[in-house]
Copies of this chain bind each other. A is one copy, B any other.
Amino acid sequence: MATLEDIGVSALINILSAFAFLLAFAVLRIQPVNDRVYFSKWYLSGSRRSPRHSGNTIGKFVNLNFWTYLGFLNWMPGALKMSQSKLIEHAGLDSAVYLRIYLLGLKIFAPMTILSILILVPVNVSSSTLNFLKRELVVSDIDRISISNVSPGSQRFWFHLSLAYLYTLWTCYMLYKEYNTIAFMRLHYLASQHRRVDQFTVSVKNIPIASGHTISETVDHFFRTNHPNHYIGHQVVYNGNKFARLVRKKERLRNWLDYYQLKYERHPEKKRPTTRRGFFGLCGERVDSIDYYTQRINVLEKRIQSERQKILNDSKGALPVAFVSFDSRWGAAVCAQTQQSKNPTLWLTDWAPEPRDVYWQNLAIPFVSLTIRRLIITVSVFLLVFFYMIPIAFVQSLANLEGLERVAPFLRTVIELKFIKSFLQGFLPGLTLKVFLYFLPALLMVMSKVEGHLSLSKLERKTAEKYYYFMLVNVFLGSIVTGTAFEQLHSFLHQSPTQIPRTIGVSIPMKATFFVTYIMVDGWAGIAGEILRLKPLVIFHLKNMFLVKTERDRENAMDPGSIELSNSLPTLQLYFLLGLVYAVVTPILLPFILVFFGFAYLVYRHQIINVYNQEYESVAAFWPHVHGRIIASLLISQFLLLGLLSTKKAADSTPLLIVLPVLTIWFHKYCKSRFEPAFRKYPLEEAMARDTMERAEEPNLNLMAYLADAYLHPIFQSFDDVEMGEVRVDKNLTDIASPIDSELSSPSPLHYVYSYEVEP
């Protein structure tokens, strides 16, 4: 048990390290040589091409203007300066809404902190249970200001009870307001945005294969029949994995060619560079590099050509998936929200994700396979969450010194050295754990990919969900109840449902010090480390030194990163959970959380403005999940408080707490029906209004041309423009303009009339 002084020392250390990070950041960010690391967003948006620097050669690499070193915190007001609407324009709605989560944390916890400190701390301190006990056992100072200090059966628990009610109401109120705002922002964003291809496009999965007809013909016939007034065309998805491999290889060869050409041009006096033809350029005949690569590229070019022809001509190259385009948002909204086929597992329509958001590999998974995959992944996630420690312990038991000696006997003499031995013994188990935890998010992402979601944004959301479960069980519960998650599961299965919240509830006040330290390390110093971007910085300079051959490589070496919702949302939600659980129990935790939310808000605002690359725009599609997790945290906090109070013999007040979860669940259901459709569907009223406006503004808009290439498989994007044109002709004109063969033509006597042709 830590005393208040211990926590003070720990806080000092963490604050100092946070300051050290901030200082380092302040120095590093103004060096021109680091410009691409700390201002990559501006390079990506195209508003910066090269670092700003003073004239001379050294100035290219080091900032010599010493005045700029003084205001080392001046990035903070800079980060705050940009207005929300500007921010949405600059970094997308996702980023802006992500930042609002931190603000929401501040809004929820600031009044709670004040109230708790004004009311609960005096109530707890003036109780005297632990003073009596103090002689017998060591009690931490933090426990004196927590609920543990109130004697069992005391009437003072009414304070805690009424604050629990007040906090629940307050949290729900803030959540409601926030959901309302964000739903409005989403609709406003969708409405005010310029035309987007995904507003006119619907993804169709599980297209049945009709014998004798290509996928393209089937799609065309189906939508011409069932959406005669609005369908204008479609884009077939090709299985282009082999093609993509060839294109990547060509890229690599061209890069080498550029490198040698540059090398030769810089020093034309030297002899032309040569390369060995054999294995990785290590052996074989020596040839002229430039000629050699030019020739290899030409050969590859021909293979790419023929592969492309093969894909486009082979009817089996097309996957049973398509992107279908409509002449209006209304038509697309109708198609995305309705069931198409009598067999509900065929012709599954949904909104097409943004083109850059599509995860192409998953487009071709059939329905039955999908359901089986989900079963397997659900079971795996359950096992992963509860049995994660078992393989780690197993590997740790292998990765000890005896194991190493057995595998590599020649190391024995080294290992037996005392210094190295003790170092390894302390180091190996920790390393295995670290390695496992490091790969966890990647592992979860792979699992989500196996589940078969179609868009990157959904993959991130699903990964975030899995990670949240992991954090909840292994970090939150794992810290409170000692023992591995599996042992907890076992003990929970053998306890009564009323006993579980009690067991956990009782341990909660005792773990407050641990979580305070956790918040300081992970939330304060960790966030300061985030702004320093040490890893991308080092990697950028390493790449710059060893790998970068051309300007294009330098572009690639720049790793702006992104918000990475799959990682950041679960950690963020853990802070909400801690805050809500401890708000009534140990209020001294709240100021620490408040500092985290404030500081992280500043840091992430700065990073989003200056660094992160926006990979896609899901228009805040993650918000319902954030909302749901905060509600879950609220429920957990209520049940734990219920368990805690029931051990405190507060018989008068405890039963009143049961009302809270019921109300919270109802509130969640209400919000779900009130707001969630705004995130899942696209109202026809909105679609029609936008369509009408657009037709009035641009009566001669050629939507078909606008949509033609929107969902071209990325493998075709690497073509030159001429080739692109060819593909377009190959694919779309035949699909759209050719008369469909008589057998397939629609039995309906309806003419094929576009709605804008019906207009006067």
Instruction: Please give the residue numbers on chain A whose beta carbons come within 8 Å of chain B beta carbons, in ascending order.
Output: 187, 222, 225-227, 229, 330, 333-334, 337-342, 344-345, 347, 367, 371, 374-375, 379, 492-499, 662, 666, 669-670, 673-678, 681-686, 688, 692, 695-696, 747-751, 753, 755, 758-760
Contact = CB atoms under 8 A, between A and B. Distances in A.
SS of A interface (majority) = helix
B226 A229 contact: no
B678 A342 contact: yes
B187 A342 contact: yes
A747 B690 CA distance: 12
A686 B227 CA distance: 12
A747 B495 contact: no
A496 B498 contact: no
A683 B759 contact: no
Contacts of A686: 342
Copies in the complex: 2
Contacts of A684: 226-227, 338-340
Contacts of A670: 371
Given A187-B342, A371-B666, 7 more contacts: A333-B338, A334-B338, A337-B339, A340-B683, A342-B685, A345-B674, A692-B750
A259 to B, nearest CB: 53
B496 A685 contact: no
B755 A751 contact: no
13 contacts: A226-B330, A334-B334, A338-B338, A338-B681, A338-B683, A339-B683, A341-B683, A342-B678, A344-B673, A492-B497, A494-B496, A751-B759, A751-B760
A161 to B, nearest CB: 20
Nearest to A669: B371
A181 to B, nearest CB: 14
A340 B685 contact: yes
A758 B751 CA distance: 8
A224 to B, nearest CB: 11
B498 A339 contact: no
B749 A759 contact: yes
A516 to B, nearest CB: 33
Contacts of A499: 494, 496
B371 A673 contact: yes
Contacts of A227: 684
Contact of A683 (B337, B342, B374): B342
Contact of A337 (B337, B494, B759): B337
A662 B383 CA distance: 13
B692 A748 contact: yes
A682 B84 CA distance: 43
A341 B685 contact: yes
Given A226-B688, A334-B334, A758 B749 contact: no
Contact of A493 (B333, B496, B675): B496
A673 B345 contact: yes
